[in-house]
Amino acid sequence: MAKQRIYMCIDMKSFFASVECAERGLNPFETNLVVADETRGYGTICLAITPKMKALGVKNRCRRFEIPKNIRYIVAKPRMRKYIEYAAEIYGIYLDYMDKQDIYVYSIDESFIDATDYLQIYGKTPQEYAKMLIGEIARRTHIPATAGIGTNLYLAKIALDITAKKNTDRIGYLDEQLFQETLWDHQPLTDFWGIARGISNRLMRKGIYNMRGIANCPEEILYKEFGINAELLIDHAWGRESCTMADIKNYKSKSRSVSNSQILFKDYPYDQAKIVMEEMVRSGCYELMKRKVITNKVSIFVGYSKDVHAPTGGRTKMNETTNLPKIIVPYVMQLFEKTTAKGVPIRRLGIGFDDVCNEGCEGYDLFTNWEVVEREKRLARATLDLQRKFGKNAIVMASDLQEGATLIERNKLIGGHNADE
């Protein structure tokens, strides 16, 4: 008989805000603090708030103007590199107690752990092992953590998201029986991992408001509504999950596209947005080179300020299959000029390189000047080498210095936010 596996999902509580508190010697459970970029005004989104502010009724990911005026709080500018440093330190703590093969980093502040073999090694129950880990994280980093324990990966995640919140030690445990006994009638359905608002609304239209309703619904009704995705819904309603840590580690993405998008810092006129789009194309080409892939299909997206105009964009197929900026940029800019509304303020831009393939598939038309192609390849490789050694801003185009250009500033960001102190 196969050994019953025990999984854990450990999450750093209000991670960015807790890091800022730790850096200031403050307790996040006793401090009003938000992580937000004040330079973006009162409409900026708070990337994180402390547990103390949540207890006061402030919603996570709120905008600053939504915080009640009577609440006094500290505003901490985002420092993404600092958060990455803390995340790396926490991962190092895990490695002190387990092998990396038994860890899956789900996000910067959340990880799955296959704890099965370590319970016997350390002579601890699942709850004791989880308590030891989150205690060690708190001791070394001063970051509070929450843990969910389950007999499969799904139950570990639900134990974290729902059950642990009800326990004073911030540790939750679920097996299939406990899941059915304690959470079958839990509402709303959107509290459950994998059920977004759209799926929840479709279920409610059929009179299903909880996991018990999904479990007891005739399967043919669910398959008719959700297709193959109904299989996962049904399994999760019973607390079942076949995916293991080994499955996650062995997964290879089938995605064959590279994309990038940005929300501009302010409303941009057409001419300045065009500069930014060209910067994004060149950056995207360098990303293709790093991955050693090429493409002959490119798509763009343009979103306008306050939805005063419907989004525009389109897709173009090139005669060449390449990753060279000199070839790809003209195609994209022609598409931008053809599809983008003029005289309307622009706030969002996106670009996608579709159906990418390995560099060995490179192809050009009969009129290609091969000397130019080889020269551009050498130039692009030299640019990448300089950027690797001295940073992304070591070499930039003259257009990156024009009014409205964002590349130099974006190169200082991580995840779209300030990287440094």
Domains and CATH numbers, the chain: 15-80 (3.40.1170), 184-249 (1.10.150.20), 258-418 (3.30.1490.100)
- What b/e sequence results for 108-121 when a residue is b if at least 16 CB atoms lie within 10 Å of its CB, and e otherwise? bbbbbbbbeebeee
Those residues whose C-beta lies under 8 Å from the C-beta of residue 327, and which sit 6 or more positions away, are 318, 320, 376
Cβ count near 276 (within 10 Å): 22
pLDDT of residue 92: 95
**pLDDT at residue 209, as a whole number:** 96
Please give the Cα distance from 261 to 280 (Å, whole number): 8
List beta partners, residue 351: 260, 300
- Give the contacts of 392 (CB within 8 A, at least 6 positions apart): 411
Residue 1: per-residue pLDDT: 61
Which pTM was predicted? Answer: 0.70
pLDDT of amino acid 254: 58
Q: CA neighbours within 13 Å on the CB side: how many for 183?
A: 28
| Residue 369: per-residue pLDDT | 63
Residue pair 257/246 in contact by the 8 Å Cβ criterion: no
Q: Along the 421 residues of the chain, how does pLDDT read in single tens digits?
A: 668 999 999 999 999 999 999 999 999 999 999 999 888 788 888 989 999 999 999 998 899 999 999 999 999 999 888 999 999 999 999 999 999 999 999 888 999 999 999 999 999 999 999 999 999 999 999 999 999 999 999 999 999 999 999 899 999 999 999 999 999 999 999 999 989 889 999 999 999 999 999 999 999 999 999 999 899 999 999 999 988 888 887 766 555 788 888 888 778 899 989 988 998 998 898 888 888 888 999 999 999 987 678 899 999 999 888 888 888 999 999 999 999 999 899 989 999 998 888 876 666 655 566 666 677 777 777 766 766 666 655 555 554 555 555 555 554 544 445 556 5
Which residues lie closer than 8 Å to 249 by C-beta, 6 or more apart? 101, 104
The pLDDT score that the predictor gives to residue 414 is 45
Per residue in 126-156, pLDDT (tens digit) is 999 999 999 999 999 999 999 999 999 999 9
Query: pLDDT at position 413, please?
Result: 45
CB 53 within 8 A of CB 34: yes
Summarised one tens digit per residue, pLDDT across range 269-303 is: 999 899 889 989 988 988 888 888 889 999 999 99
pLDDT given at position 390 = 65
Alpha carbon 396 to chain centroid, angstroms: 28
